[in-house]
């Protein structure tokens, strides 16, 4: 994200106040010599590098100085950051902890000029020399700095000079073509990155990442990433673990209305007879209508033994067994059954249906009554015989 705008807003400050701050900063850390910078005007004023003026004002440095500082309140240790990160999450039956958190000091640049009326003026720049946005300056606390230990090394001096030159060139329209700058401050702001680990009593674990300016997390301007459930894609700061070890978020979880088991919503299906949400493996499919339903919502056909949806059965006989197509007397299966059991030959006008598993053959007699044969095609045997009387629709299964 580009957090720079042009021009960067300037901040005025008392020259006396700034020079006292600069003196303290130079005493606390070694300054890089930037007097040979091509951006320093040849007519820069030479003033004493130590001591006081008659007015009591601290002496300005003998040429532009470079010092280092940090924003007041910028987190310097992980323990200052962890409450702001971990406090964003609510973990059910578990806990969260930082995993691999780093606080990397990243440099920004403040350049200070002499201004009229005993004032100095500050402007701020990013690592690319572009002016910083006012909103970022406020967020990072760049207007209130304190000197810090030296982080720059001697061989960093050329890089710092190039950085200052790029900033002055970029901002020349706002500060003038040849600004007589007083000091440059390399401001170290902490960039936080790492992960939050979620651990649960059943051994389940999950992770979520974060990256951004440390002070943004502390001040609440930024939050870590929400936990993303890999199974559902749902995200939340509320995290939980299911019994099967799936780490997820509340909006991705449902409850099976038959077993009471909590599971991912994607594992639940609707019983198309009762409308209840249940685990998919609890449902059976009606072989006629294709509807999925709980077994206790289906009815068993007395002739074929299949469980079918209520709308596909009447008086314990499914619509397939009530209908069916006529069977030719020369049908090989029918002919074999009639030859194997002479009692079957008393029936005629055969009809029925068959699939890969079974065949149902229903015959009737001239004087009334019907016979239904359930034949197991996989095992090549008669599984069941049922009969109904002349004046009754009730079927009676022969003892096996």
- Whether 15 and 57 have beta carbons less than 8 Å apart is answered as yes
Helices (H), the chain: 15-28, 78-86, 134-140, 157-170, 172-175, 214-219, 319-322, 332-340
> Residue 367 is encoded by which pair of tokens?
């004087």
Q: Is residue 351 predicted with pLDDT exceeding 50? A: yes
- The token duo for 2 is 């580009």
By CB atoms closer than 10 A (0-12, 13-18, 19+), residue 228 is middle
Indicate the helix (H) or strand (E) that contains 202. none
pLDDT of 341 above 50: yes
pLDDT of amino acid 9: 52
- Give Cα separations from 43 to 13, 35, 61, 112, 331 (angstroms): 24, 12, 15, 17, 116
Q: Residue 97: what are its φ and ψ, rounded to 5°?
A: -155, 150
Q: How many whole angstroms separate alpha carbon 86 and alpha carbon 332?
A: 75
Q: Which two structure tokens, joined as six digits, stand for 327?
A: 């069977």
On the question of pLDDT at 327 being above 60, the answer is yes
Q: Which has more confidence, 115 or 13?
A: 115
Q: For position 30, what pLDDT does the model report? A: 44
Tokens linked to 301: 């056909």
**Residue 35: Cβ-neighbour burial (10 angstroms; 0-12, 13-18, 19+):** exposed
- Mean pLDDT on 344-348: 93
pLDDT at 60 over 90: no
Residue with tokens 């910028």: 74
């Amino acid at each position: 994200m580009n957090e720079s705008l042009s021009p960067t807003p300037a901040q005025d400050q008392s020259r006396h106040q700034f020079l006292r701050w600069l003196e303290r900063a130079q005493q606390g850390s070694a300054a890089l010599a930037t007097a040979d910078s091509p951006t320093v005007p040849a007519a820069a004023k030479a003033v004493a590098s130590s001591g006081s003026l008659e007015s009591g004002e601290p002496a300005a440095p003998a040429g532009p100085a470079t010092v280092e500082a940090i924003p007041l309140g910028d987190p310097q240790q992980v323990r200052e950051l962890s409450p702001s990160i971990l406090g964003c999450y609510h973990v059910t039956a578990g806990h969260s902890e930082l995993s691999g958190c780093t606080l990397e000091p990243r440099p920004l640049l403040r350049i200070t000029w002499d201004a009229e009326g005993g004032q100095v003026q500050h402007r701020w720049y990013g690592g690319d020399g572009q002016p910083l946005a006012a909103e970022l300056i406020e967020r990072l606390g760049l207007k209130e700095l304190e000197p810090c230990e030296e982080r720059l090394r001697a061989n960093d001096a050329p890089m710092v000079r190039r950085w200052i030159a790029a900033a002055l060139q970029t901002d020349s329209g706002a500060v003038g073509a040849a600004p007589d700058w007083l000091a440059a401050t390399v401001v170290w702001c902490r960039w936080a990155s790492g992960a939050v680990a979620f651990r649960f009593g059943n051994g389940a674990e999950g992770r979520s990442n974060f990256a951004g300016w440390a002070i943004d997390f502390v001040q609440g301007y930024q939050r870590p990433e929400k936990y993303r459930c890999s199974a559902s894609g749902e995200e939340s700061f509320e995290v939980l673990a299911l019994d099967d070890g799936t780490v997820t978020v509340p909006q991705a979880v449902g409850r099976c209305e038959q077993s009471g088991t909590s599971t991912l919503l994607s594992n639940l299906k609707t019983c198309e007879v009762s409308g209840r949400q249940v685990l998919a493996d609890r449902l059976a499919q009606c072989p006629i209508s294709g509807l999925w339903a709980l077994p206790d919502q289906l009815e068993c056909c007395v002739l074929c033994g299949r469980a079918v949806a209520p709308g596909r059965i009447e008086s314990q006989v499914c619509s397939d067994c009530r209908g069916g197509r006529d069977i030719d007397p020369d049908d090989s299966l029918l002919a074999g059954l009639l030859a194997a059991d002479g009692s079957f030959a008393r029936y005629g006008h055969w009809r029925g249906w068959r699939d890969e598993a079974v065949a149902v053959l229903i015959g009737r007699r001239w004087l009334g009554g019907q016979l239904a044969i359930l034949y197991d095609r996989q095992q090549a045997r008669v599984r069941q015989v049922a009969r109904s009387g002349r004046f009754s629709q009730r079927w009676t299964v022969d003892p096996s």
